[in-house]
Amino acid sequence: MQDRPSDAGVGSGATGASPIPVILAEVSPERIRARIERLVSFHTRHTASETRSETRGIGAARRWIEADLRESARLSGGRLQVSTQAFDAEIRMGRGREPLEVEIVNVIGFLPGTIADPKGRTYVVCGHYDSRAGSSRDVESAAPGADDDASGTAVVLELARAMSRHEFEANLVFLCVAGEEQGLLGSKHYAEWAESEGVLIDGMITNDIVGGVVGGNGVRDERTIRCYSEAEGLHSPSRELARTMKAAAGRWVPAANIQLVFRLDRFQRGGDHIPFHRMGVPAVRLTEANEHYGRQHQDVRIEDGVQYGDLVEFVSMEYVALVARVNGATLGELALAPAPPSNIRMRAAVRYDTELSWTPSPSSSVAGYEVVWRDTAAPMWEHVSAVTQETTLTIDGVTADTHFFGVRAVDSAGHRSRAVR
């Protein structure tokens, strides 16, 4: 048993090797640039835009995304499985106008885990490939959407390529959705499908507007990534996922500064993590540190010598690669780690210590457990105490009157599950 800061570097007690450094090294800013430029080349990716052309509109964009995933599937020796999920939706076109009936298509890469259960523990990484111009109903004008959200889509595609050549215990889903700008339609459909099928999603990350390093406020920040997470009551799996991400980034991607934001999303705005969070799935949203509103949801134009529009030239490929590595480290660690323990019980009332016990992780890879605790007002776990095969531990001198506790499972390489309470 030991007590050390919970964000202690990997290797403390770890004996096995991790593929995470290899995955992170494979993430390529050049490939990310090629993908963003390709997505921008379709002129507009409005959800109700052209679908028959091979060079223009959302149909061409989704077929290209599918082809990109199929190339990653080929490189993975067929382990990555590519599919599409199509459904009809009505989108509002404004007062006095008939709603448009459109087909929305999610493009999905599925990497089966060694658990060999397609509905078992699954982690989802998401970006939306639809875009919009100044008016949300304008299906014709240029809507390059380089940052919003070709950047997030490129993150998903790059991770599909980098991760699908490795083996994970849990399933991984690389999800490219449309209809985001019309009310999160693609992500909502996928989340409802997963819930109705009984898919156990243990974590979901959406990447949306993850390419800009200079905000409209003039601030340049090439390291900070905002991570939005909301809590529902005392048990807050989405916020725990955010903590897990910050800790994983601290271990594997020290160049990134994860700014935890304890809100659902930016003020009065939304993203594709919301339908998942609302279902109780741990889900977070990543966004650049400083947005530039002259470049989002704008018609491409020059006004008083100022360039407006969501153009490739305003995206930092190194920053998108940094975001991809943070996703890769978090998803990699969670999917490699044993499943979390369950049924956490505490004996703590009217005592000077806290006794925890739990039902073991079902994973055969489990090498031990870590009990973590923090002051109730602290954002991150502050202390950790480890055991090997035991499923009970008493923390002397620490009371649950003033602390929160969690338990996570660890494998021999030091990959940690989400802490559960």
Nearer Cβ to Zn ion, position 235 or 263? 263
| Shortest distance (Å) from residue 149 CB to Zn ion | 4
Min CB(130)–Zn ion separation in Å: 8
- Binding region for Zn ion (CB under 5 A) out of 119-127, 200-208, 253-261, 361-369: 200-208
The least CB distance from residue 60 to Zn ion, in Å, is 20
Mode of pairing for the β-strands spanning 301-303 and 306-308: antiparallel
Q: Between residues 148 and 230, which has the closer beta carbon with respect to Zn ion?
A: 148
**Shortest distance in whole angstroms from residue 128 CB to Zn ion:** 6
For residues 406 and 421, is the Cβ–Cβ distance under 8 A? Answer: yes
Q: Does 208 bind Zn ion (CB under 5 A)?
A: yes
Residue 127 forms beta bridges with which residues?
Answer: 176
Beta carbon nearer to Zn ion, 270 or 368: 270
Taking CB under 5 A as the criterion, which residues in 123-162 touch Zn ion? 148-149
Nearer to Zn ion, 130 or 158 (CB): 130
Binding-residue total with Zn ion (CB under 5 A): 3
| Least distance in angstroms from the C-beta of 180 to Zn ion | 5
Q: At its nearest, how many Å lie between Zn ion and the CB of residue 43?
A: 18
Residue number, 20 or 40, with CB nearest to Zn ion: 40
Residue 342 neighbours by CB under 8 Å, 6+ apart: 358, 359, 420
At residue 54, what are phi and psi to the nearest 5 degrees? -95, -5
Kind and range of the H or E run holding 383: strand 383-387
- Could you write out the DSSP letters of every residue in 260-315? EE-SSSSTT---TTHHHHHTT--EEEEEESS--TTSSS--SEEETTEEES--GGG-
Span of 201-209, 329-337, 348-356, 368-376 interacting with Zn ion by CB under 5 A: 201-209
Closer Cβ to Zn ion, 68 or 148, answer by number: 148
Site pattern 290..319 for Zn ion (x: CB under 5 A) = ------------------------------
Least CB distance from residue 302 to Zn ion, whole Å? 24
- CA distance linking residue 335 with residue 211, whole number of Å: 26
Per the CB < 8 A criterion, the answer to whether 311 and 233 are in contact is no
Compute the distance between CA of residue 46 and CA of residue 378 in angstroms, rounded to an integer.
42
For residue 96, what are the contacts with CB-CB under 8 A and spacing of at least 6? none
**For residue 152, which of 106, 210, 68 has the smallest C-alpha distance?**
210
Binding positions for Zn ion, rule: CB under 5 A: 148-149, 208
